[in-house]
Amino acid sequence: MTLTRGSSSALCKTLLTVALLFFGTGCLEIDTKIVLHPDGSGTITERVNFSRRLLDVAGAAEPELRLESLLTREAALARMKHMGNGITLATHAVRDADGASREAEAVFKIRQLKDFVYVSPFVPHRPRHDRPRQTPDRLFGLKTVIRPVLQDSSSLKFRSGNVRVDFQPFGLSSSPKDKKPTMPSRSPLVSQTYRELRPIFEDLMSDLKIKVVFESYAPIVTSLSGRRDAAAGTHRVDLVDFAPGRNMDAQGYPFLENEEIMVDLLRWDPNSPWVMNTVREWTRNKTLPVLHYGGGIFFRPSAHYFDKWFKGQTLKYYRGGKLQSKPAKFEEIGWKPKKGGNGT
- Top-confidence range, 75-84, 270-279, 322-331: 322-331
d(CA 15, CA 70): 9
d(CA 30, CA 43): 16
Rounded to 5°, the CA angle 245-289-252 comes to 75
Where in the sequence is the domain holding 245, given as residue range(s)? 7-333
pLDDT bin (cut points 50, 70, 90) of residue 171 is low
DSSP tag of 207: T
Q: What is the pLDDT of residues 141-161, one digit of tens each?
A: 778 999 999 999 866 567 899
Reply yes or no on whether the pLDDT at 6 is more than 90: no
d(CA 338, CA 159): 23
d(CA 270, CA 126): 9
User: How many distinct structural domains can be found in the chain?
Assistant: 1
d(CA 173, CA 20): 16
Q: What is the pLDDT of residues 230-288, one digit of tens each?
A: 778 899 999 888 888 889 988 899 888 888 888 777 766 766 778 878 888 888 888 99
- 176 occurs within a structural domain: yes
- 339 occurs within a structural domain: no
Core vs surface per residue 15-53: b (16+ CB within 10 A) or e: bbbbbebbbbbbbbbbebbbbbbbebebbbbbbbbbbeb
Query: What is this structure's pTM?
Result: 0.81
Q: What is the pLDDT of residue 185?
A: 56
What's the start-to-end Cα distance of the chain, in Å?
A: 31
Q: What is the pLDDT of residue 69?
A: 74
Q: What is the pLDDT of residue 88?
A: 96
d(CA 182, CA 173): 13
d(CA 56, CA 59): 5
- 213 occurs within a structural domain: yes
- 343 occurs within a structural domain: no
